[in-house]
Structure 1
Amino acid sequence: MLEMDADAFEQLVVDELDALPDDMVDGLDNVVFVVEDRPEDGDPDLLGLYDGWALTERDRYGTGAELPDRIIVYREAHLAQCADLDELRDEVHTTLVHEIAHFYGIDDDRLHELGWA
C-alpha cells in the first residue's frame, strides 16, 4: 500500500484536476470537489462518488436553493490500489474523469465502453 498523508493527497487531486482539459471542467456548475479518507459505508474499493443531479436530470433543478453537487475522491482506496506515485496520479485522473462524466449524465455502462470505468 502506498503511503501519503491527507494534505499531500489533496494537493495531488488538485493538481490532477488542474491538468484536465478546460472544456471538461468549464461546464461544471455548482460542483465542489472533496477529498475524504473513506466512504461512509466503509466500501474499501470505492474510489470516487458523484453526489448530485446530472445535467440530464436538472429539469427539477435551478431554484437557487440547491446545495452544490459533490465529487468525492477517497484517499484510502486510491492508496490501497496503487503501487507508486505514477499509478496514483493515473488512478486519480481516471476517477476525476469518471465522476465528472456522471455530472454530464454519462452512466457506468457508457463509461465502460469508453474505457473510463
Structure 2
Amino acid sequence: MDENRAQRVVDKLRARGVPAHMERSGVNQFGVRVSLPDGREAIWDTDGTAGLEAQVMRDGVLVGYVPEIAGSENFDEPQVIDAIERTDYNRPVATRRSATPPPAPPLPPEGGFFRRMFGGFRER
C-alpha cells in the first residue's frame, strides 16, 4: 500500500470510529494499524504484497492473523475499509463478519495542525 492510500484509509476508518493509525514498517512500506480493545494490534498490509492480510500482535508477539482475503489485490479504498472494519479479531485466525458493525463516534484525524508540514505537503 502506498503512503497516500494508507493515510486516506486511516482517515476514513477514524471517521467511522475505528482506532486506526499509519504503520511505517520500513523504507516505503506503509500500512494500517488498528488498536484493539484488549491491547492487541492488527497490522494490515505492510509486507508489500498485492493481497490484503494482517498480523495480530500483542507486545511484539504474533498472537493471531488475518489470512489473505481472496480477490483483495483488486480492492478499491471503500472495499479495503469495509474489509478492515468487518474483521472479527476474537480468534487466532480472524474471520470476517457478515455485516459491518455500526459506526462509533468519529475520532480526530492524526497529525493535527502540522500534519501537512511534516509530510512535505504531499497530501492531495
State the TM-score bracket (shorter-chain normalisation).
Answer: 0.3 to 0.5
TM-score by length of 2: 0.37
Relative contact order higher in (CA < 8 Å, ≥ 6 apart): 1
